[in-house]
Amino acid sequence: MKLVFYTHSLVSDWNHGNAHFLRGVMRELVREGHDVLALEPCDGWSRSNLVGEQGEAALERFERDFPSLVSCVYDADFPHEAVLDDADVVIVHEWTDPALIARIGRARRAGGDFTLAFHDTHHRAVSARPEIAGLDLADYDLILAFGEALSERYRRAGWGRQVVTWHEAADTRLFRPLAGEEKECDLIWIGNWGDDERTAEIRTFLVGPAARLGLKGTVRGVRYPAEARAALAEAGLAYGGWIANADVPAAFARHRMTVHIPRRPYVEALPGIPTIRVFEALACGIPLVSAPWDDAEELFRPGEDFLFARDGAEMAAQMRRLMADPELAASLSAHGLETIAERHSCAHRVDELLQHLVRHGTQKVRSQLAPREAAE
C-alpha cells in the first residue's frame, strides 16, 4: 500500500516527540514492503527552531540516521490532490493547518478512494478545545487518538465507532540496551521545559531530589529559560540542550537512572497517557522513577517496570534505593524491557494500525490487507 503521513515534522524532533513515534511506525511499514511518504510544512515551528538552533546539519543528520524514510516539505502552492491521487491511506496529524485538514477532507469527498484518518497525539483537545472542536473532520473515516481518555472526548463529540485508541510506542530497533557504555553519571532526564505545564513539577521531582542526594546528573531538552538553567546548575545537574533522538539510547546507557515528569494537562485531564519517553526509556533498560500519573489503561506494571514517587521526598527516597540496590535496578530494567517487547513496540502499533484499517478502511484498502489478515 501507499501511505501518506501529514506530519508537523518528521525531520525535526525539536520539542516534538510525535516525530519519534512516526519515524518508528514508518520504518516498520517500509520494512513490511509498503510505500511510505511523509509531508511536512516548510515553515513548521519545530523544523524552524531546529534549523535556527542547530543549523542545516541537523536536517542532514536525519537523512543519515533514517535513510529509509522520505519526508517532503510543502508550501502554499503544493499540489496536494495530485500527490494523494494514488494514495491508499492518508493520516493527518492534528498539528496540520486547519484549512489543509479541511482541504484533504474535500479531496476524499470528491472521489478520493483513500482511507482518511486524523491522528491526535496532544492535549489540545482539552487545553485548546475550541481549536480542535472547530476542525472540519466530516469526511474523515477514522480518528486515531493516543489514549483512551482522548478517544472518549471524540466519542462524546459524536464520532462513535470511528474513534480508536492508538498509543505511542518505542522504536525498538533504535531504542534498546547498549552494551559497552560506562556509567558516567547517576541521573539523566530528557525532556523539554514546557512553559508552565510542569515548571513546578521539574523543581519538585528532579531539581530538589538531585540536590538533596548530591547526584551527578544530566538534563537534555529545549526551551529552558536562564533561571531554569541556573537552578539545574545549583543542583549539580549539567544542562546539555537539545539532543537528537537517535543519540538518546547511548545517553541513557551512560547513566544509572532516569525520571518521568508528565505535563500537568495529562495528569489532570487525560489520565492514562504517558509521554513517549516512558516507552523509550524502558526499551533502553534504564531504571525509571516517575512522578504521579494514573496508568488507567494498565499499560505497564508499576512497581515492577518502574517506580512511582508521590512527592519530592519520595522521589529522593526512590532514587536513593536505586543507587544502593543494584538488584532492584536490574529487576526494573528486565521487567521494563519485557513489557515493551510484549506490548509496546512500533511493530505492535503497525499491526494495530493495519487491523484498524481492515475495520474502518475503504474497500480498496481492505482488499489489500485481507490476505495479510487471513495469514495471521
- Is residue 38 located within the same domain as residue 54? yes
Residue 129 has pLDDT above 70, yes or no: no
In tens, the pLDDT along 341-366 reads 999 999 999 999 999 999 999 999 99
Q: Does 116 map to a domain?
A: yes
Average pLDDT for residues 228-248, to the nearest whole number? 97
Residue 83 reports pLDDT greater than 90: yes
Whether residues 29 and 132 fall in one domain: yes
Establish if 134 belongs to a structural domain: yes
Q: Contact 15/222 with Cβ under 8 angstroms?
A: yes
Same domain flag for 207 and 155: no
Whether residue 174 is contained in a domain is answered as no
**Cα(277)–Cα(198) distance, integer angstroms:** 15
Position 180 in a domain = no
Q: Are residues 128 and 238 part of one domain?
A: no
Residue 287 sits in a domain whose CATH number is 3.40.50.2000
Domain containing residue 104: 2-169+345-375
Asked whether residue 294 is domain-assigned, the answer is yes
The domain tally of the chain equals 2
The confidence score (pLDDT) of residue 250 equals: 97
Residue 156: pLDDT band with limits 50, 70, 90: confident
Q: Taking residues 218-222, report their average pLDDT.
A: 97
Beta-ladder partners of 6: 39, 92
Q: Are residues 339 and 349 in the same domain?
A: no
Clarify whether residues 139 and 221 are in a common domain: no
Q: What is the pLDDT of residues 7-54, one digit of tens each?
A: 999 999 999 999 999 999 999 999 999 999 999 999 999 999 999 999
Does residue 48 lie within any of the structural domains? Answer: yes
**One domain, residues 162 and 72:** yes
| pTM summary value | 0.95
Question: Does 165 share its domain with 196?
Answer: no
177 part of a folded domain:
no
55-77 per-position pLDDT tens digit: 999 999 999 999 999 999 999 99
Q: What is the mean pLDDT of the chain?
A: 93
- Whether 148 and 259 map to the same domain: the answer is no
**Which pLDDT band holds residue 374 (cuts at 50, 70, 90)?**
very low
359 and 239 both lie in a single domain: no
The model's confidence at residue 222, banded by pLDDT at 50, 70 and 90, is: very high
